[in-house]
Structure 1
Amino acid sequence: MRLNASHLEKMRIVGYAANSLTSRYYDVLRTQILQDMDKNGWQFLAITSPTPNCGKTVTACNLAMSVARLPEREVLLVDMDMHKAQVSEYLGINHSNNLLSVLEDRASLGDSCVEAKFGPESVSVLPGTPARDGAAEWMASQTMANVLQAIKREFRSGIVIFDLPPLLLGSDVLSILPRMDAVLLVTGVGTTTPNEIKECQKHLQRSHLVRVVVNKVSETSESYYGYGYS
């Protein structure tokens, strides 16, 4: 399906526009992350935040589009926030199948993915939907592990970006992190506290944290800056 540019701009999705001033922030972030992932042979990138309202889904969508604009690059965006799945809303996608359909064996992985087109490029999207019960159990399940193996097999030539739930809201992210190659942490000025950053540090000690994105929001603009993190 072809994405609607007006809807994307309304939802602050700008990564599809190569000449946009705002999209350049994502292009810089893209370059930094891909260099690390290529160097280490990583494929799975998890995007999370300490708490809600930090802009992780906006970052995931924009980063995926920025990567897709590169020649010979393929990207799959997976909405794995089983509490508040929003990728479809941000991109304007309406699709009957989703990640939960695959987990419950109601649809195949191929039938559940959408090719979201913008200009001459496209992003493959596996939409999500809230799991009314047992989100944490799904994340830790062998079924989820099998789906991740299928994704690795079917999209072995591309980068896979996972939009995860906020890190500090429960055990969901902690159970899936060992299956991710790298992590991008999205924080929000005025939203994220220093104590929350420290708590995230503890949880991410065994993960490859490639960048921290500081999301600065004002009434007129939104800027993203990627920083190294150790």
Structure 2
Amino acid sequence: MDEAAIDSVSPSSMDADLDIPTAEGRFHRLALDQLRLMGLLTPDAKRSQIAEEYRLIKRPLIMNIDKKGADIVDNANLIMVTSALTGEGKTFSAINLAISIAMERDRTVLLVDGDVAKPSAAKRLGIKYETGLLDILDGSGMTVSKALVRTDIPNLRVLPAGKCHERATELLASEQMAKLMEQFSTRYKDRVVIFDSPPLLLASESAVLAEMMGQILMVVAADQTPRYAVNDALSRLNQDKIIGLLLNKYRPTFGNKFGAGYGYGYGYGYGNHAAETGVDSDSIAKSP
């Protein structure tokens, strides 16, 4: 049974934070109180600070998908969220971006836990299923429809990383992965696929994933990520991608009325011709 068949099935009488396998797929009810405690965006946030920040971040990404942005690229609905190093907030950002876009009336979102060596996106959402992306690729017979996890946010699906595999990079670089990405990109016109990727400087899988994406959002921790690390990470990306910089953990200084209250900045660029909007390039990263 393909994915279309599971969209019309609504589980009932389910407790919070519960994974339930069904004949049509798997379902997880998000524990919204726990997500809020972790600082994550929730569907009831409405006009909260974090909701407003991600409204600003997602808009240029959606415009690029609709071919209304500054540049047109293939697979613009495939978005990789990554960072140069660990601890910069890429998973936090990927989850929030996925939930924010899922709040759009005419979009559905698939959040893929693509950090296959150290997966954490599904875990942060309370999803306990072990099978996922790598199991689809390893020839064991797992299908997309069985691996997907539906959530009680109607437009949000999650694909866990799957069981650890010693040849994860080769699986991600395989022809089967290429076919899967084509399916993700073209099968549903309203679908946005967000990959939580490994850090660019620490894992070979990130370079493989980057080649398949249309848009890449690189998270940079303010006053933490060395500038040389940002430059090195950017140099590893193919310049035919739309590349955005997301300034995370930013705390505005006293008197900075334009930045007050906002912990994120978003810089938009295309290849080597990055044009920052709303983010001072000198504040993107400072060497220690």
Q: Same fold (TM over 0.5)?
A: yes
Give secondary structure in 2 for the equivalent of 1:22. helix
After superposition, the Cα gap between the structure-2 partners of 1:216 and 1:26, relative to the gap in structure 1 and judged at 3 Å, is: same
Superposed structure 1 runs of 4+ greater than 4 Å apart? none
Three-state SS of the structure 1 residue aligned to 2:106 is coil
User: Partner amino acid for 1:4?
Assistant: A
Task: State the number of aligned residues.
Answer: 226
Distance 1:74 1:223 in 2: 26
Give the counterpart letter for 1:192 in structure 2. T
User: Aligned partners of 2:262, 2:169: CA distance in 1, in Å?
Assistant: 32
Instruction: Kindly provide the amino acid, as one letter, of the partner of residue 156 in structure 2.
Output: V
| Map of 1:28 onto structure 2 | 56
Change (3 A) 1:182 1:138: same
Map 1:1-230 → 2, pairs under 5 A: 1-16=28-43, 17-39=45-67, 40=72, 42-104=76-138, 105-118=140-153, 121-129=154-162, 131-216=164-249, 223-229=263-269, 230=274
Judge conservation of contact 1:15–1:26 (CA < 8 Å) in 2. Answer: no
Distance 1:112 1:99 in 2: 7
Q: 1:136 to 1:85 in 2, by over 3 A?
A: same
Bigger mean CA deviation after superposition, 12-21 or 160-169: 12-21
SS at 2:181's partner residue? helix
Q: In angstroms, what is the RMSD of aligned CA positions?
A: 2.1
Structure 2 residue ranges without an equivalent (≥5): 1-27, 252-260, 275-288
What code does the residue aligned with 1:9 have?
R
- d(CA) in 1 for partners of 2:159, 2:36: 21
1:61 and 1:77 map into 2 onto residues whose CA distance is 7
Greater Cα shift, 135-144 or 78-87: 135-144
Amino acid across the alignment from 2:32: A
Deviation by residue 1:27-60 (Cα, 9 ceiling, x = unmatched): 1101121112211362211111001111111111
Letter of the 1:162 counterpart: F
Q: The residue matched to 1:62 in structure 2 has which SS?
A: helix
After TM superposition, the score normalised by the length of structure 2 is: 0.72
Gap change, CA 1:50 and 1:15, over 3 Å in 2: farther
Amino acid at match of 1:116: T
C-alpha distance in structure 2 between counterparts of 1:128 and 1:58, whole Å: 16
Q: 1:88 to 1:122 in 2, by over 3 A?
A: same
Distance 2:54 2:188 in 1: 23
Change in Cα spacing, 1:180 to 1:222, as seen in structure 2 (3 Å) is: same
Counterpart residue type for residue 157 of structure 1 = D
- TM-aligned CA distance change 1:141 to 1:73, over 3 Å: same
Give 1 or 2 for the bigger CA radius of gyration: 2
Q: Which moved more, 1:148-157 or 1:173-182?
A: 148-157
| One-letter amino acid matched to 1:59 | S
Secondary structure in 1 matching 2:36: helix
Q: Which amino acid aligns with 1:27?
A: R
What is the CA deviation profile of residues 45-85 of structure 1, one whole-angstrom value per residue up to 9, with x for unaligned ones?
11110011111111111001101111111111111111111
Query: Which shifted more, 70-79 or 32-41?
Result: 32-41
Unaligned runs of at least 5 residues, structure 1 = none
Structure 1 residues 32 and 110 mapped into 2: Cα distance closer, same or farther (>3 Å)? same
Higher fraction of helix: 1
Distance 1:162 1:205 in 2: 17
Structure with the bigger RCO (C-alpha within 8 Å, sep 6+) is 1
